[in-house]
Amino acid sequence: MGELVEYNPVEDVLHDDHIHHRCHPLHLSWVSGFNPRVSLLNVSITRDRQELVFASGNALLFYCYDGEREQITPVIGHKDVINMMGCDDSGRFVVSSDCSYSINVWDRQIGGEGNHHPIAIRTIFEPFKAAGDIRAVSLSHDGKYLLAGGSLPKEQSNQLKLWSWTVGNDFPDDTITLPKRLGNIKRIHFCPDRGRHNQFVVTLANGVVFGAWDSKEQKLSTQVPKRHGFQDYNETVFVERTDRAVSVTGAGMAVVWSNDRMFSDVPEGSVQRKEFLKFLHLKYAAIYVVRSCDGKIVTGDDDGEIRFYDNSMKILYWIKHDDLGPIRTLSFELVETRKSKAPVEPIEDDDQRPKEEPSERKQEVNIEDIAPKDVSFEKRPVIVRGFVLATKSGRILDNDIVYNKCQDLFLKSPSIITAFDVHSARSELCTCDGNGRLVMYDLQTKSMKLALEVPIQKTNRGRITTLAYSPCGMFLAGGAENGYLWMVVPNLSILPANNPLQITNEKIRYVLFSEDSKYLICVDKSNTITLIHRELDDWQVIGQCNTHHMVDLAFLCTTDFVSISDDRHMVQYTINTDEMMQLEVLSIVKRKRIDQSALPTALLVLPGGNQILVANDHLKFKIYHSRSFEILHTFLAPFNDGPARCLRQLPGEDFFLFITNSNIYVHHLPIDGNPFKYLALRGHPKRLKDLQVCWTVRSAFTFGEGDHAVSMWKINTSPLLDNLKHAGTGLDPFCTLLPGGKRGCYVREILSLFFYNQISPKNSDGDAELTLRDAMSVQDVPNYMRSIGFHMSEYEEQNLCKEMELTGTYFLTFEEVLRLFLNHRTATGGPPTADDIQTAVTSLGATTSNGNNVDLVKLITLLASMGEPMEPKTTEAYCRVLFPTAFEANEQDESTSPECGRGEDCTNCINIDEFADRLC
């Protein structure tokens, strides 16, 4: 079980035809940036090929650059946001962890060199119990041991757990608890020296812990050096080929630890005790990262300066780039130190003779001659392998101090994404971050085309929060928090002279172009719609209209658009283009309530323009007529991850996409409530914020909470069509939503009630012969649904009856009735519980003063005047059936007035617990 089995994929599978893409409706194919808060890894094993690993949300990005082309391989293997990564000395095995769910070990070289995706060969789920935090992970340099540090739920102490991960044990080999006073774990590093690969150091907020793993005794041991008043430790590393370790702090201090001479004779495999040796105040800026490589100690600080020290902490050399920003990562190549430069050989078949001194061209160039010199009196050359640094501002730089080279790698990810949009005709993506940086990407080459710094007011709510391309593709509009509207010419990436256009003092929430790109709709936080008209290249405000708190909007035609709101209304607006008519330029044409209790979340104008699809928070899809706003159909929506948002139609195909809290869905049209008509993929560990579709590259684009990048998902509808083929026909796919399925007892019971309805007394005609048929009158459907578990309101009954009228028949089959039942019934939860009933009665005010009894007479009065009114006689009849003992006294004494129902000892009062139990 301890042996790694090599994976050999099928050779005839094309490179772009990934197996997981053939099985899933969406495949992550590209990410526009990375998360600078997670330290990246430099796993380059040759000097001609840069290989990096960095994180973006819950995805790992394996990056390769050979000097000409960049290649990015995104892989998803975590449920939560990735917070830490590490690798072994060879760079083959990479370990990653998320905040609380799992730890993965990836094999980069499986199946060949660079031809296939890295594969997770080991996964450890919830190492610190459910809801426990994973704070740091590390692999030993020989790749044998995996060490993780984290905290237990509802506890302040930290734990260390070690696995011999190649063996495949589900439980750690040993666990040790760290003192609470040391604070949270920040970093873990193993010793790089041979013979000491089992030793490690843990950096915590208030201290440092040295430890070792005894493979013979199968035991972890740790030692905490004596504290000397230092705080805010950031990182600690072992100094190569010495007995020292160096820690750096947020106060610009370097703390040096050395072996305790009193405990020099320790058994092999035990921790070597460390003691405080000295401290140095290196800078006034915080030092975040420290490394030991090629006989030098390297630090990176918040001033953007990289310093090189010898093993005694004497300064040798420093580098400071302009506008670099705080350094968060230093990662060195996995190659040995260079000593000389390869000679320049003459080209074969070259008839030209060398001009002069041909022998000198064949001599090797000594690296020491071209390397920079240190600041010592000896002026020794500073020779160190190439390294990659990453900054807090999202830059990745490849540095080679020997040849004095510095090159930007990958795409800059300076701040959190606030808005994005895709071009309607070109393969182009535009993003905007919190610093006002607009970046346009070519989706064919996966590269940045243009960048534009918008002069936003960062301290005055000036961030751009919404972007929209015009349908013609010639304009790009961005709405800001301070009410400014920025217009950009995408082709030139410039701001016209009249920018910005201040149309309001409130945050702009929505920006939408009309179909002909002549009008622009802006909706601000104060629920005001501003209409902007384009004349040549000038945009001017021509009208405004106050409306409801808009949730979503869409154009029906060039001059008409509709909106939905959390006031449960749909509103139609029109743009008056006739100058002869003395009417408002922007006015409300129609306003209608579309729901009783559910809140709409998104809308989509279906192909043809005659129907509007609306999603709500009761997990339903409802279709309305685009002109009359009359309800046409109600269907069940996905019900496991919140309501549907951001409905997007795939042009020219019978599919549409939408997002929920964390998932991206592909749904087949037409909608009928079939649960096999949609498939989903987890798209974000926290919450998705927006979705757009670019059909020129057949991809969907999303970004979520806290993301520094936009994700590109390749769309594949084949798995969804295959899913429909195997779903069955008739009631087969719908019955999977019921307990027991098609042959379960629940289906048999509701089928029995369906036929019992036909022989009930209300349907009988004396001694006439009864004939049973598989059909039910539409008038009996509402009460039948109430009898099988859907307790609809009067408003819902009216909608149901309108939908049945559209069928054009007076009788419905059992299959049609069951579909209506599954689509209309409450998607989440079950019948009201006793606690729900008690809460409802108390909220109505139908209880007595002590709250222990329910006054039935008062309840009858309230139900006749609140909400959907009920007739007092009907309500009283129900109460007499349910609670016959409460009315016995009144029947014996006819003089008893209804007012006695308000007394504590009146027989019209019933205990609230008994009341709730009888109704359940």
- Domain ranges in the chain are 130-281, 425-546, 731-762+771-824, 834-888+905-919
Superfamily, domain 425-546: YVTN repeat-like/Quinoprotein amine dehydrogenase (2.130.10.10)
What pLDDT score was predicted for residue 771?
A: 64
pLDDT band at 7 (very low <50, low <70, confident <90, very high): very low
Give the chain's mean pLDDT: 86
| The pLDDT of residue 473 is above 80 | yes
pLDDT band at 14 (very low <50, low <70, confident <90, very high): very low
| The pLDDT of residue 360 is above 60 | no
699: enclosing H helix or E strand: strand 699-704
Dihedral (Cα; 34, 37, 39, 44), 10-degree rounding: 20
The CA distance from 691 to 681, in Å, is 14
The CA distance from 515 to 609, in Å, is 13
Q: Which CATH architecture has domain 834-888+905-919?
A: Orthogonal Bundle (1.10)
Task: Calculate mean pLDDT across residues 777-783.
Answer: 90
Radius of gyration of the chain (CA): 35
The CA distance from 687 to 920, in Å, is 36
The CA distance from 657 to 672, in Å, is 16
Task: Give the tens place of pLDDT for each residue, 227-272.
Answer: 778 889 999 999 999 999 999 999 999 999 999 776 656 665 566 7
Give the percent of the chain with pLDDT over 70. Answer: 88
Q: Which of 148, 191, 155 is nearest to 171 (CA)?
A: 148
pLDDT band at 832 (very low <50, low <70, confident <90, very high): confident
What pLDDT score was predicted for residue 838?
A: 87
Q: Which of 369, 397, 365, 367 is nearest to 384 (CA)?
A: 367
Pairing, β 711-715 against β 26-31: antiparallel
What pLDDT score was predicted for residue 116?
A: 67
Task: Calculate mean pLDDT across residues 336-341.
Answer: 63
Give the percent of the chain with pLDDT over 90. Answer: 56
What pLDDT score was predicted for residue 18?
A: 54
| The pLDDT of residue 661 is above 60 | yes
| The pLDDT of residue 356 is above 70 | no
- Are the C-beta atoms of residues 478 and 464 closer than 8 Å to each other? yes
| The pLDDT of residue 497 is above 90 | no
| The pLDDT of residue 882 is above 70 | yes
The beta-carbon contacts of 363-369 under 8 Å, at least 24 apart in sequence, are: 364/340, 365/340, 365/341, 366/339, 366/340, 366/341, 367/338, 367/339, 367/340, 367/341, 367/402
Task: Calculate mean pLDDT across residues 683-688.
Answer: 94
DSSP helix, strand, coil percent of the chain (3-state; round to 5): 15, 40, 45
What pLDDT score was predicted for residue 902?
A: 40
- Are the C-beta atoms of residues 737 and 42 closer than 8 Å to each other? no
- pTM metric for this prediction: 0.88
- Are the C-beta atoms of residues 847 and 856 closer than 8 Å to each other? no
Superfamily, domain 130-281: YVTN repeat-like/Quinoprotein amine dehydrogenase (2.130.10.10)
Give yes or no for a cis peptide into 9 (omega within 30° of 0): no
- Are the C-beta atoms of residues 790 and 831 closer than 8 Å to each other? no
Q: How far apart are the first and last CA of the chain?
A: 55
Taking each helix axis from N to C end, the angle separating 856-863 and 872-882, rounded to the nearest 10 degrees, works out to: 140
| The pLDDT of residue 5 is above 50 | no
pLDDT band at 900 (very low <50, low <70, confident <90, very high): very low
Give yes or no for a cis peptide into 500 (omega within 30° of 0): yes
Q: Which of 631, 636, 632, 635 is nearest to 592 (CA)?
A: 631
Segment of 10-24, 104-118, 555-569, 718-732 carrying the highest mean pLDDT: 555-569
What pLDDT score was predicted for residue 498?
A: 78
CATH class of the domain whose range is 731-762+771-824: mainly alpha
Q: Which of 494, 493, 524 is nearest to 511 (CA)?
A: 524
pLDDT band at 890 (very low <50, low <70, confident <90, very high): low
* Phi (first) and psi of residue 201, to 5 degrees: -135, 135
801: enclosing H helix or E strand: helix 794-805
| Domains 731-762+771-824 and 834-888+905-919 alike in fold | yes
Task: Give the tens place of pLDDT for each residue, 564-613.
Answer: 999 999 999 999 887 656 678 899 999 999 999 899 999 999 998 899 99
Lowest mean pLDDT, pick from 345-359, 383-397, 483-497: 345-359
859: enclosing H helix or E strand: helix 856-863
The CA distance from 202 to 730, in Å, is 62
What pLDDT score was predicted for residue 69?
A: 86
